[in-house]
Structure 1
Amino acid sequence: MQGEPNRVTTRQKPQQSFWGLWNVSFGFFGIQLAFGLQNANVSRIFQSLGSSVDNLAFLWIAGPVTGLIVQPLIGHYSDRTWGRFGRRRPYFVAGAVLSALALLGLPQAGVLLLAAGFLWLLDASLNIAMEPFRAFVGDMTPDDQRAKGFALQTWFIGAGAVIGSLLPALFTHLGIANTAPEGQVPDSVRLSFYIGAAAMVLAVAWTAFSVREYSPEEMAAFSGTSHEEAASQPLVYSARGPLWFAAGAVLLGVVGELGLDKQLYVLGGGLVLFGFAQMVLRATQAKGALAEIMSDFAQMPTQMRQLAVAQFFTWTALFILWIYTTPVVTRYAFGAVDTAGAAYNAGADWVGVMFAFYNGVAALAAFLLPVLAKRIGNARTHAACLLGGGAGFLLLLVLRDPWLLLLPMVFVGVAWASILAMPYVILTRVLPPHKFGIYIGVFNVFIVVPQLMVATIMGGVIRSFFPTEPKWTMLVGAVVMAGAALAMLRVREDNSA
């Protein structure tokens, strides 16, 4: 009949073989190896170049700010990229190459400001590579195989992070210098970053050349909605712009009036810009990428909003872990305060071992999560794992023996396995397939904002309440991780498949 839109015949997405799932996720091995190097060594590099402990959080601020901007944009455009090189592949290949360049430059920086610039490039590039990989698993797996897909991705994440975290200690064991003059980075760290750059490119290239992405016609057949129909959906303009703008303005005023930490200007300014953008888009009825991202943000599914609260608390705790474990362990377990001394560098190496250990635990726990989730549900499984992670933070607060510090890493590792898998299993079951990229990018906002808050607030908290006792950051981490577990109990999930 004339005038009736073309109908898309729906068919089932094919099951992936084990090696199909392997190839889809193998690139994440390289991405997480780079993340492992970053998380375990960037604070060490910054301190070696002269940063004080209370300035570490601010120097890490490049990552959250970059992710806040990059991931939604990459998600939006990767949903709409249909070319000869695929849909997601162009993005994670470009991200891998840029990440490798940043890994080569970071330990060579020599100056604190330049090192912070390389960290910014590394975070931006890792975000460009990582976000499409999350959506890639959703693209390539049917609903009933997605938990296995994310579990295998979590295994690669754990394996990559284990190697990335252990590399400096391994090279030290092989006789490569683990100390350096003040203002320089040890050779063991430099060589680790070079190896990470090569691994990043090779692992992502494996996935890029071994997996054929589905065509637009195939994706339309799987979802029952063509790309053209999805793109023609009307935009929704949020009416909450004035509220965000006012909240940011109030925060900026309070910071200025009370003389609070100037790093809070970053957070207040971000809220003002977000609110202003919403108001302009609503007033002008604008079109384009920014308008579509804001529209999708306003139309988030209920489960995504519920998950967002848990993500906020979860990633607040994780960012505390990554920033402050090095100063806590080196000071309390190794008695070191001189960042150029052997004791400090031995303690920093041990932090790499600890991080490798929890990622190894995560790699093993990843395959137990689907079994537990079948019994008690995805949301409750995630809540239990997060509660265990909070217990790990409490143990980091009180334990002093280096070997005993591996015990809290068991709890952190189980939580980390769940963090990497369960929210995405829940999320991809309720998201429209043609918007996997944008919504996973938007979901990253609730990972980035808490990191931004830690980066802008935590330094001031340390200076005000425990300037000589960084161990109390672990208590803060325990409290917010417990809050994340409680928030997960509110999540209502789609338990089908």
Structure 2
Amino acid sequence: MKQPKLSFWQVWNVSFGFLGVQIGFALQNANVSRVLSDLGADLHSLSLFWLVAPVMGLIIQPIVGSASDRTWTRFGRRNPYILAGAIAAAVGMCLMPNSPIFVAFIAPMLFGGLMLALMDGAFNLTMQPFRALVSDMVPAKQRNQGYAVQSLVINIGAVVGSILPFVLTNVIGLENSSKAGEVAPSVMWAFYIGATALLGSVLWTVIRTKEYPPQEYSAYKGLNYEEEQRLNAEKKSLAEKLSGFFKLFMSMPKTMKQLAIVQFFSWFALYILWVYTMPAIAQNAWGLDSKWFDSSYLSSLEQIPAHIAQAKGAAGDWVGILFAAYSLSAALFSIVLSKIADTFGRKLTYSLSLLAGGLGYISFILFDDPQIMHVNLFITQVDVPVGALGLLIPMIGIGFAWAAILAMPYAILAGSLPANKTGVYMGIFNFTIAAPQIICGAMAGQILLHWFNNQAIYIMILAGVAMVLGALSVVFVSDNTDTNKENLAEELEHEAHPQQS
């Protein structure tokens, strides 16, 4: 039975919830280092706080993926998980910037870390079923389009989330600097708005996307409905579940293993971008000494000099503009990404995109002119260093890389996965996202402290080298998804019915 082709707006509705999820992610990525620094975190310890994100992904995504594969309710298969995650993420987004309020019960920095864990856990609870939903609903011939639309929606959300604090400061007039142990008002309100957008967009997808009922889904995906129902109804012990998961992990498609190498270098670089862009540009473009990011030194002062607080606030806001720039670049690139991939192949498109991102990272060090320039951004006018303005150029290349990272691995991988195991394998594939971030988080702070003497610009160059290595690794990826799918289906069939062999 042939799965029906979707209209553009049906494909759009399936992915629309990513808009709000990515607004939340963008606010987190651009502002959590700033928030934790304001609450008292050392520069070299920021990467340890950020370990919460990949650890939560490592734990939650495979569990949710496996559970959603076996879930069939009148509300859908993936939708219940998507909505539950969105509600939890919105709660975390509202509580995190209010960490100082809870000082009587728990240290603000610790509470901020806990809310980061809640937000990331909830984002992962929402994100994993979303990726599986796209694979469920979009037929194979529209797969490039489906993941390109997903990338487009994600990056529109990233633009909105990234610029929110800047807009609230420079257009609305909210304060962007903070006192020691507090969070800037512009950041607080940005998180409130982001939480509202997250819930609204997810509700749109949940309401507008009607998932296929079990029998219809099985027919479209070539599955035996009765056999699937029997397998889902089986009660298994925890040991049996872990054993089954380990077997799936060990029998993952060859393509997934090859993509894991590319993912390692890509996400190692992205982790550094999100954690260290703010201190890197504050030091390199605004000319701030690294001591202004040392909590021991700051605690020895009665108060932070006004011009330092103002510069750090301005740099923090400009990170939002830079992240919006790479997200806008990614959104525009996403519009043509599927056509480019169809014409030149997914591997070449993927590799060249990562190369553009790597060169963008490395070029950060060139933009160090501290001379102040008056800039008209259409929505407002600001005074920023020439070097900070020039950083918009490398963000174009980073945007190309980000668009490809969001779409190409999943487009390459999706066709190699069995339809009845898509959720759990997408969860397992998240290991290739979480593991490099965990490794980076454990290493980056020490590298920054001992190798680079807390000069954050040099760790951005390290990230660029990693991204270039990712581009080279794409060469070794096999994009023969149909063959992989057939081989994996035969292996799983053999495991389910060994007596037939």
Same fold (TM over 0.5): yes
Q: Is the 8 A contact 1:335 1:343 kept in 2?
A: no
2-structure distance, mates of 1:46, 1:205:
31
Residue 6 of structure 2 is aligned to residue 16 of structure 1: yes
- Alpha carbons of 1:426 and 1:80: their partners in 2 closer, same or farther (altered >3 Å)? same
* Cα deviations by residue, 1:126-150 (Å, 9 ceiling, x for unpaired): 0000000001011001101011111
Which of 410, 431, 449 is the equivalent residue of 2:417? 431
1:178 aligned counterpart, secondary structure: coil
2-structure distance, mates of 1:38, 1:228:
44
RMSD of aligned Cα (Å):
1.8
Residue 266 of structure 2 is aligned to residue 314 of structure 1: yes
Residue 351 of structure 2 is aligned to residue 383 of structure 1: yes
Aligned position for 1:166: 163
Q: How many residues align?
A: 438
Alignment map for 1:275-294 (pairs within 5 Å): 286-288=239-241, 290-294=242-246
Paired AA for residue 402 in structure 2? W
Aligned position for 1:219: 217
Which of 183, 203, 206 is the equivalent residue of 2:181? 183
Paired AA for residue 59 in structure 1? F
Percent of pairs with identical residues: 41
Aligned position for 1:372: 340
CA apart distance, 1:225? 1.3
- Alpha carbons of 1:294 and 1:496: their partners in 2 closer, same or farther (altered >3 Å)? closer
Select between 336-345 and 215-224 the one with higher mean Cα deviation: 336-345
1:492 aligned counterpart, secondary structure: coil
Paired AA for residue 192 in structure 1? A
2-structure distance, mates of 1:209, 1:83:
14
Aligned position for 1:151: 148
2-structure distance, mates of 1:295, 1:164:
40
Q: Is the 8 A contact 1:394 1:475 kept in 2?
A: yes
2-structure distance, mates of 1:232, 1:316:
41
CA apart distance, 1:494? 2.5
1:179 aligned counterpart, secondary structure: coil
Aligned position for 1:254: none
Alignment map for 1:120-159 (pairs within 5 Å): 120-159=117-156
1:85 aligned counterpart, secondary structure: coil
1-structure distance, mates of 2:250, 2:225:
21
Q: What are structure 1's unaligned runs of at least 5 residues?
A: 1-10, 235-280
Residue 32 of structure 2 is aligned to residue 34 of structure 1: no
Aligned position for 2:299: none
Aligned position for 2:396: 410
- Alpha carbons of 1:211 and 1:468: their partners in 2 closer, same or farther (altered >3 Å)? closer
Aligned position for 2:44: 54
Alignment map for 1:395-474 (pairs within 5 Å): 395-400=363-368, 401-474=387-460
Q: What are structure 2's unaligned runs of at least 5 residues?
A: 101-107, 294-303, 369-386, 484-501
Which of 75, 87, 106 is the equivalent residue of 2:77? 87
Paired AA for residue 446 in structure 1? T
2-structure distance, mates of 1:152, 1:327:
33
* Cα deviations by residue, 1:297-349 (Å, 9 ceiling, x for unpaired): 11101111111111111100100111110110111111235466001100110
CA apart distance, 1:496? 7.0
Regions of 4+ moved over 6 Å? 231-234
2:74 aligned counterpart, secondary structure: coil
* Cα deviations by residue, 1:440-468 (Å, 9 ceiling, x for unpaired): 11000010000001111111111211123
Q: Is the 8 A contact 1:172 1:178 kept in 2?
A: yes
